[in-house]
Each structure stands twice: as structure tokens, then as C-alpha cells.
Amino acid sequence: MPSARAPHPSELALPPGDLWIFGYGSLMWDPDFPYVQWAPALIYGYHRALCIFSHRWRGTPKRPGLVLGLDRGGACRGIAFLVARADRGPALEALWAREMRRRVYRPRFLRARLPDTEVCALAFIADPKQTGYAGGLSIRQTAERVANCCGARGANLEYLARTVAHLRELGVHDHNLQRVLAAARALNAQAHP
């Protein structure tokens, strides 16, 4: 059953000092908060997946598309951003406006392995208890949605193609997303020869 409200950033038990934030999707190439530095990061226990229904931006209420979330199991390469203590408030407000509006994510601190150390980083994971959660779809089911859905920000296929391209530019090769993209492109080519 969906929760009544998303937690407010002030309710987080923040570590003292600076704050690390883990990005695994568009946050990697489009952070909208101030940060001091960034580093490649790896987390275990979650993987990047098209596991969140999009009823507005990449789909409609009748034909919801899919956007990224961190889903249980596996590992995920991303980017950890270091936010200075003085900027934590504005950074968290920006993140909440961006990630927590629909209440499909849960904020959680995860261990993130950086090239030379390990840090505790704030991440937004998919909440399987929410109605917007779309985990468990097969590659074929995911590809069908991606190939056929479109919302206010454009086609779901375009979103996935851009995501895979941005990840490659950052040196991240997500084989699951690449397989979904190939299957979605094939379905799209069949539908629009």
C-alpha cells in the first residue's frame, strides 16, 4: 500500500559534515545541485532498471512508459557527488523536488565504493510497495513499453537511447539497458518500417 507522504529532507539522519549523493541515471549528467567534486562509484545490492512507471513525462495514464530506478539485487556503477555541508540544505531541497514528488523512491544511505575509498552516499531506490513500481517486467515487456510509449517530454525510446548514450560517455556500459534498447528499436522498426 502506498505511503501517505514522502519523508521530508529534514527527517533524514544526515552524517555530520559534507554529504555524498549517488547518481545512477540523469542525475549523473544533469545534477541540479551544487557539488564540490564527483567520482565514479559502485554500489552493491541494487541495480539500475526501468522499474518506475511514467504517466506523464515518458507515457500517459493509459499507456505509462518507464523510467529508471534502483531496484533490488546486483550492483550499479554511477557517480557520487560530494556536497559541501553549507550546501546540503539547497541540494536536498532540489533533490526532493526532483525525485520525491511522486513518492515512488525511498531515500536511503548506501555504501558506495569510490576509486580510492568507500563512502556512505544518499541514493533514491525504487519502492516496490508503491503503485508506480514496475519491477519484474521481462526484457520483452519492458521493450514493448519503451517502443510504444510517449509523454510530455517525448518518446520513451528516445529517453532510453539518450540514457544509454550518456552512460557510455561516462564509461558505464549497462548491458541490461542495452538489451532493452536493442529489443525496443527492433519492435519500433517492425511497427514503422
Q: Provide the total of helices (H) and of strands (E) in the chain, helices listed first.
A: 4, 7
Separation CA 104–CA 102 (nearest Å) = 6
Does 99 qualify as catalytic in the annotation? yes
List 99, 118, 144, 158, catalytic entry: 99
How far is residue 27 from each of residues 79, 138, 189, measured CA to CA in Å? Answer: 9, 25, 30
Amino acid occupying residue 119:
V
Contact of 32 with 98, CB cutoff 8 Å: yes
CA distance 7 to 107: 8
Active site residues: 99
